[in-house]
Structure 1
Amino acid sequence: MSTPGWPAPAKLNLFLHITARRADGMHALQTLFQFLDVGDTLYFEPREDGRLSLQGRVAGVAEEENLVMRAARCLQAETGTRLGANIRLEKRLPAGGGLGGGSSDAATTLVALNRLWRTSLSVDELARLGLTLGADVPVFVQGKAAWAEGVGEKFTAASPPEPWYLLVVPDCEVSTAAVFSAPELTRDCQPITIRDFLSGQTTNVCEAVVRKHYPAVDKALKWLGQFAPARMTGTGSCVFAAFENKAQAAEILRKIPAEWQGFVAKGCNRSPLLERLAAES
């Protein structure tokens, strides 16, 4: 029997600035991560023979490339454990949506198996391991809203407002690599502070590129922008707007065009993953 499910929550980039392009080709950025109370769910059944199996794979992603399997193998290699696991992934977050689904799945795998295998790595050690899997993985491991800099791995704890969000999911998948390689992408934003963010001096520099190449995202931003200031998360494709309460967000959701999906979620400065981890103690 597997243990109860472990949440792999979605995230929002409340803004995204690129301040430079580094010599190694990576981008130096500033962003503010906040979690949502919705996401994927993973189930883990430890096994004694060291083998790993995965049910619920992501379409078009080979098992050896799946971030869940890669995370489990990384933890095995790092700790030398002889344990394995049967893993089941219930996927809800859209691929290419800018909600961090794959990174969150990887982080939840690291955190959950570290507890279930009793491998006893610290949060910082898990975060460093997660960074080898993707720049967003450490913030999911840490589980707290954070102001991020560098390539997204340098964190400062943050406590932005926790509104209700309406998210619109256009019918397209955006390539992060294509956005970051676009010649027209703004890469020279002046660094800002959290106070600047709170006063509204922010944007998502990827929006202009994505709106140009993905008309569905442009259309979704225009539609949602009728009701509240709308913004894209990460490199898209999902767009979001904040509301004071759940009822307001739900009322707008009822008006969403049939061509899109959408959902209402609560902003969380403490990840649901941390709550699940506490329940395991």
Structure 2
Amino acid sequence: MDNNTTAWLTVPAPAKLNLMLHITGRREDGYHELQTIFQFLDYGDQLSFQIRTDDTLTLTPEISGLNFEDNLIIKAARSLQSHANARGKNCGANIRLEKTLPMGGGLGGGSSDAATTMLALNVLWQLELSLEELAKIGVKLGADVPVFIKGQACWAEGIGEKIIPLPDLAENWFLVACPNVHSDTKEIFSHKELTRDSQILNMRHALEGQAANNSRNDCQLVASKLNPEIGKTLNLLNKFGSAKMTGTGACVFLSVASENKATQVANKLPAELTTFIAKGTNLSSAHKVLFGSV
């Protein structure tokens, strides 16, 4: 792509769900060992990029209360700029964000925004870094960032960096409810009552449990204790099936048979509870836009 172009490239930054999340131990460095199944949703934020002929980065709109350089989108762009500069390239970009996903929701919005930024600028700046190289850079921004960079539903272990693709997961419909609370990941992982000794599962058994709708999220009890609204939302959705929290919350999801069924359930929930309906997808929508569906 010509570096003088003023065309905008718009790329989705999809949400993710943790279909299950077990914490199996705590390392000496304080990080937790976990096992989880990630799947993307056809719903999320949207980022647009316009390359510049100088090395300036802009981001609109500004996020109130967040320093420009502390924004994960800018951190992601800076991390690629350093690679471009090392090759003698002078790269900048104007970036626009359409924010849909709630912060502190467990849907991976910040990590997805960072990953989409890296994927898009790698293409626009013609850096030709592989997904593996991008993932190694991205993990420094957050443990979930490599999952979004690689763009496939997956089984993840370690602190989330050991990834095995799961291209054949059922792509179900989900009703996602977002309580109006911010769930603090650090607070949950440092809580004395957090389960840290779940039995280590092999992937096959975890997938069998997921298929039978017999799986859990080890962060759920502590998150509900810290934020009772999460527990209330789980109880509401449990009337219609087996609801679970994603990540460290606060969002809660219910797998449903169809989009129509999701709409029926949503219509029975309190009007003040924010919800959305989305389909699970095993290939990130960012990858579909940038690289096609294969």
Structures share a fold, TM > 0.5? yes
Gap regions ≥5 residues in structure 2: 1-5
User: Equivalent residues in 2 for 1:30-109 (5 A)?
Assistant: 30-80=35-85, 81-109=89-117
Answer yes or no: is 1:120 the counterpart of 2:128.
Answer: yes
Would you say the 8 A contact 2:84–2:90 is kept in 1? no
- Give the letter aligned to residue 177 of structure 1: K
**Per-residue deviation at 1:279?**
5.1
Cα distance in structure 1, aligned partners of 2:97 and 2:180: 22
CA distance in 2, matches of 1:216, 1:59: 25
The CA deviation at 1:5 is 1.3
Give the number of aligned pairs: 280
Tell me, in whole angstroms, the C-alpha distance in 1 between the residues paired with 2:101 and 2:62: 13
Counterpart of 2:206 (choices 193, 197, 218) is: 197
Of residues 153, 173, 184 in structure 2, which corresponds to 1:164?
173
The CA deviation at 1:60 is 2.7
> CA, structure 1 residues 219+12, in 2 after alignment: closer, same or farther (shift >3 Å)?
same
Deviations 1:201-227 (A, max 9, x none): 531000000111111100000000100
C-alpha RMSD of the superposition = 1.3
Moved beyond 3 Å, runs of 4+:
none
Of 74-83 and 13-22, deviating more is 74-83
Gaps of 5+ in 1: none
Instruction: State the partner residue of 1:183.
Output: 192
Question: Aligned residue for 1:231?
Answer: 244
Partner SS, residue 89 of structure 1: strand
Counterpart code for 2:230: V
CA–CA distance in 2 between the matches of 1:217 and 1:209? 10
| 1:251 paired to 2:260 | no
Confirm or deny that 1:135 pairs with 2:143: yes
1:218 aligns with 231
Q: Which amino acid in 2 is paired with 1:262?
A: T
Equivalent pair of 1:40/1:89 in contact (CA under 8 Å) = yes
- Once the two structures are superposed, residues 107-157 of structure 1 have per-residue CA deviations (whole angstroms, 9 ceiling, x without a partner) of 000000000010110110001110010000000000000100011011011
3-state SS in 2 of match to 1:199: helix
CA contact (8 A) 1:196 1:202 kept: no
Instruction: Tell me how far apart the structure 2 counterparts of residues 235 and 116 of structure 1 sit (CA, whole Å).
Output: 34
Q: Quote the Cα distance in structure 2 between the aligned partners of 1:173 and 1:179.
A: 12
2-11 vs 262-271, which deviates more?
Answer: 2-11
- Matched-pair identity in %: 50
- Post-superposition offset of 1:105: 0.2
Secondary structure of 1:5's match? strand
